[in-house]
A and B are shown apart, each in its own frame.
Chain A
Amino acid sequence: MTPNILYIEDNPDNTMLVRRALEARGYKLLNSVTGVNGVNIAETEDISLILLDINLPDIDGYEVARRLRASPKRSLASTPIIAVTANALKGDAEKALNAGCDVYMSKPINIRELWARVEAFVPMP
């Protein structure tokens, strides 16, 4: 079965880059451009891993991570979350990890690193 990866990101260029990279490795990418909708998708779909931008148009990525970890859908407590942000402000990495993310990556996303990070949690199908 093809693993679903959810990318919560409002920038279409980033989404296209990541989609191309992950689909080339056999993953299926679902995308949400808002945090609230991203949480909804995670709660309704079978998601193996979440890529989470921090700067979103509604709630920020930290709040998304907190809601995912507190979700009534208990599997989301342990679904891997990789935080991804361009806005590397002081303490962003700490905040992302404290909010429940497993890994922090800064943009620009190196695709080979993305593959390695994703495959560490979800083996390539």
Chain B
Amino acid sequence: MTISHLSHLQCSGCGQEYSHQEVHTFCPTCQSPLLAIYDLQEARQQVDRDEISRRKKGMWRWSELLPVLNIENQIFLGEGDTPLLSLPHLEKELGLSHLYVKDESSNPTGSFKARGLAAAVSKAKELGIQKVIIPTAGNAGGAMAAYAARAGLKAYIFMPKDTPFANIEESRMAGAEVALVDGLISDAAGMAGEKARAEGWFDVSTFKEPYRVEGKKVMGYELAETFDWSLPDVIVYPTGGGTGLVGMWKAFAELEELGWLENTKRPRMVSVQADGCAPVVKAFQAKASFCDFWINAHTIASGLRVPKSFADHLILQDIYESEGIAIAVSDEAILESQKQLASMEGIFAAPEGAATLAALKELIQQKWVSPDERIVLFNTGSGLKYLDHKS
């Protein structure tokens, strides 16, 4: 049964349209990411947002706005509908009134990557793909391995050799073939791309296929729904590949076009990176449209060790459009914030998630946020997957 209102794929660079019935990676004409476009006028007439709210919890309750056509192809491991938690002790400490964290650690495989890989692997299955390959800084590999196992697809994963052990082990346990690379995710991406081309594996690299961002955008839908169909004032988001930031911005535009928002005021998007790998911050400060490749990337937040995202122009475009900001924080500040989140609020966040609190403290000092604003931090994963740094 076809339930999705998916219309076509469109290049984010040149606007060229492609069929969603065929397998596509990125735009062959200008080599920019492809994005999924929906017939939102049709959806507006046929889909009731309140009916979606009454459905069984999980990412796929938004099926009409996701790319999988046939519900039988949806791979569900419990992803989505993560809690939006208030942070009362940190509110008091920081002098804020409405501080929240969207805690993505309760997703399958312990991170937000489950959302994107649920969508991408499900769509790959629907398109008849049998072998998927991914370069990863860690959590995306574990997520892909799990969803590929459930879908009956073969998975090949390239990850830096210093990736947290939990990510390596969970990938292997799920039956994926894992290659450890002496380098960064960019090195892993080069190798994965070569293998994909040489042996016909489908490359599920960030933004080199159109569907991971579709799973991630649901974070934006959930936020709107939780805030009674309005949006927070500020979203503080850790940025590696940038799929979540771009996805949420896409979600907000779609919700607006659907007429589902009671208040269309968009949040200011804060992109958080680490001092040791901050290509988006550098480009933002230079008011550039693209990032330079970051040399000698290093940070304990392995998900932020992305020297250059394939979708850098989309990340920057969305930050500029939202009147947001990009900010880098030190590893020391990340660790301090990680401890604060755990000891004050009981949330053992991934370093990437803790980085958002470190960034918020900077933004308060800069008076970039005001005390009465509704601010949402994103904890993208569980701190339990990063215990290597604690030993």
Chain A residues with a Cβ under 8 A of chain B: 17, 21, 86-91, 93-94, 97, 103-106, 108-113, 116-117
In the complex the two chains form, is B13's CB within 8 Å of A110's CB? yes
Q: How far is the CA of A21 from the CA of B53 in the complex (A)?
A: 47
Q: Shortest distance in angstroms between A55's beta carbon and chain B's nearest beta carbon?
A: 11
- Cross-chain contact of B13 among A17, A90, A106, A111 (Cβ < 8 A): A111
Asked whether any CB of chain A lies closer than 8 Å to the CB of B308, the reply is yes
Chain B residues closer than 8 Å to A110, beta-carbon distance: 13, 30-32, 290, 310, 313
Residues of A contacting B: mostly: mixed
A106 x B293 contact (CB < 8 A) = yes
Q: How far is the CB of A125 from chain B (nearest CB, A)?
A: 21
User: What 5 A-B pairs have minimum CB-CB distances, sorted nearest first?
Assistant: A90-B183, A88-B190, A111-B30, A108-B31, A113-B290
B313 in contact with A113 (CB, 8 Å): yes
Return the contact of A90 from the options B29, B182, B308, B310 (Cβ within 8 A): B182
Q: Which residues of A contact B263 (CB under 8 A)?
A: none
Question: Are A94 and B13 in touch, CB under 8 angstroms?
Answer: no
A106 and B194 in contact, given A88-B186, A93-B293, A111-B31 (Cβ under 8 angstroms): no
* Given A90-B182, A106-B186, 4 further pairs, Cβ under 8 A: A89-B183, A90-B184, A111-B14, A112-B14
Chain B, Cβ-Cβ closest to A108:
B31
- A58 to B189 alpha-carbon distance, docked (Å): 25
Given known pairs A108-B26, A111-B13, A112-B32, the reply for A90 and B295 (CB within 8 Å) is: no
Q: How far is the CB of A89 from chain B (nearest CB, A)?
A: 6
A-B contact count (CB 8 A): 64
Q: Is the CB of A93 within 8 A of B187?
A: no
The count of residues in chain B whose C-beta lies closer than 8 Å to any C-beta of chain A is 27
Across-interface contacts of B29 in A (CB, < 8 A): 111
Q: Which chain B residue has the least Cβ–Cβ distance from A94? A: B295
Contacts of B190 in A (CB 8 A): 86-89, 106
B286 CB to closest chain A CB (Å) equals: 11
For A112, the chain B residues whose CB sits under 8 A away are: 13-14, 30, 32, 289-290, 313
Chain B nearest CB: distance from A121 CB in Å?
A: 14
A89 to B187, Cβ gap below 8 A? yes
The residue of chain B having its C-beta at the shortest distance from the C-beta of A90 within the complex is B183
Most A-side CB within 10 Å, residue of B31, B193, B194: B31
Within 8 A of A (CB), among B174-207: 182-184, 186-187, 189-190, 193-194
Cβ of B296 within 8 Å of any chain A Cβ, yes or no, is yes
**Chain A contacts of B183 at CB under 8 A?**
89-91
Nearest opposing residue in chain A for B296, CB measure? A94
Q: Is B215 an interface residue (CB 8 A)?
A: no
Complex Cα distance A94/B289, Å?
A: 22
Q: Which residues from A are CB-within-8-Å of B14? A: 111-112
What are the residues of chain A within 8 A of B345 when measuring CB–CB?
none
Which residue of chain A has the shortest Cβ distance to B291 in the bound complex? A113
| Shortest distance between the CB of A14 and any CB in chain B (Å) | 10
A-B contact pairs, 22 of them (CB 8 A): A86-B193, A88-B189, A89-B183, A89-B190, A90-B183, A90-B187, A91-B183, A93-B293, A93-B295, A97-B295, A104-B293, A106-B186, A106-B293, A106-B308, A108-B26, A110-B30, A110-B31, A111-B30, A112-B13, A112-B32, A112-B290, A112-B313
- Nearest CB of chain A from residue B67's CB, rounded to whole Å: 22
Q: How far is the CB of B182 from chain A (nearest CB, A)?
A: 6
Q: Cβ of A109 and Cβ of B31 under 8 Å apart?
A: yes
Chain A residues whose CB sits within 8 angstroms of the CB of B30 once the complex forms: 21, 110-112
Most buried by A among B182, B183, B189, B293: B293
